[in-house]
A and B are shown apart, each in its own frame.
Chain A
Amino acid sequence: MSDVDFTFEGAPMCADAGQTIAAALMGHGVMSWRTTRFAGRPRGILCGIGVCYDCLITVNDEPNVRACVTRIEPGDDVRRQDGVGR
């Protein structure tokens, strides 16, 4: 499997090609990457199949990307998301 280089909060990371963003982050021990918009509580993977919208993350300045169903791509700039992300 070829490696995919990306950054999370500016830090270089590496993933397997074809992995989702969620899988790539969890492979590095990152379990939470968003806070809720009212209470600021931590969120990561819940359903894992694109339904619950709990795993939202900002990728290349685009907010509200579902980490569980979006493939990591070379050079992706992945950022934590607070609230609505805008």
Chain B
Amino acid sequence: MPLIIRRLERTDRREQFDCGDGPLNDYIRRYAWQNQEAHLVGVTYVGVESDHPQTVIGYYTLAASSIPTESLPRDAVSHLPPYMVVPVVLLARLAVHSEFKGRKVGPALLGDALGRCADIGLHIGCRYVIVDAYQTAVDWYSEYGFIPLGGAAPGAKTQKMFIDLRTVEHGRKTQ
């Protein structure tokens, strides 16, 4: 069944969403809509099948962020654009309903997210996508070219990774 990926709508059925991870389930069931429409802290895109167009089978959330240039080592700053901050897009969450695992929904969502980030990047001058991945998902993101960053806080359950949007743009042109 063809997968449709679009922005989350109020009428989407997401209360049954279960990816096997409590916080990711809670987010789409309880917070995603409010965060998108009321609090403006993330825009969620959902995957639905064409025969059940309101039932969420996967989702991802994007938000904008930035890294203050002054917090980066001086020798690295000379290679970056001459602004006070480095704009980045945060891929805040990505999850797939357990029943749909192994059906390439995750890769489809990631491809859509990165393509969307590249489009945004072309318009607003953003260069990097950051993801704060569960340790169990690090290999999965690495397969698509995300680079793990060293120096996580002691006891951190997640691993920060990034991908350069020029790599994504190159990937789009390679097809």
**Do chains A and B stick together as partners?**
no
Task: Show the binding face of A for B, using Cβ within 8 Å.
Answer: none
